[in-house]
Amino acid sequence: SQQGEEDPQALSIQEGENATMNCSYKTSINNLQWYRQNSGRGLVHLILIRSNEREKHSGRLRVTLDTSKKSSSLLITASRAADTASYFCATPPLGTSYGKLTFGQGTILTVHP
């Protein structure tokens, strides 16, 4: 069964703009991770946020987590054409192995030069 769902399914922006993607999940979690997938580099881990954290930054990425709403968001600031990719949130449901990630269907981000 699907734990996380990303929204929107597709997002198209111009270079330099910010991109925001959202993830909602169904059951309580210990942590939530964001991954990026493109044809060049495959599936790559971006950031991990634990359930006791509300916000985390990594370079141009900002992730928030609201456990009361069971939702997370990924913000990419000053986007570049190289950010074009599919973005997935993934969580291990509470009570399962930390490694048992359940991925959503992803948001397809297109950044136009």
Name the site residues for other proteins (rule: CB under 8 A).
Answer: 30-31, 33, 42-45, 48, 50, 88, 90, 92, 96-106
* Of 18 and 105, CB closest to other proteins: 105
Cβ at position 15, least distance to other proteins in Å? 26
Peptide bond into 92 cis (omega under 30): no
Give DSSP secondary structure letters for 10-61: EEEEETTS-EEEEEEESS-BSEEEEEEEETTTEEEEEEEEETT-SEEEETTE
Phi (first) and psi of residue 81, to 5 degrees:
-55, -35
Reduced to 3 states (helix: H, G, I; strand: E, B; else coil), residue 67 is coil
Cβ at position 22, least distance to other proteins in Å? 15
Cβ at position 1, least distance to other proteins in Å? 10
* Of 15 and 73, CB closest to other proteins: 73
* Of 99 and 113, CB closest to other proteins: 99
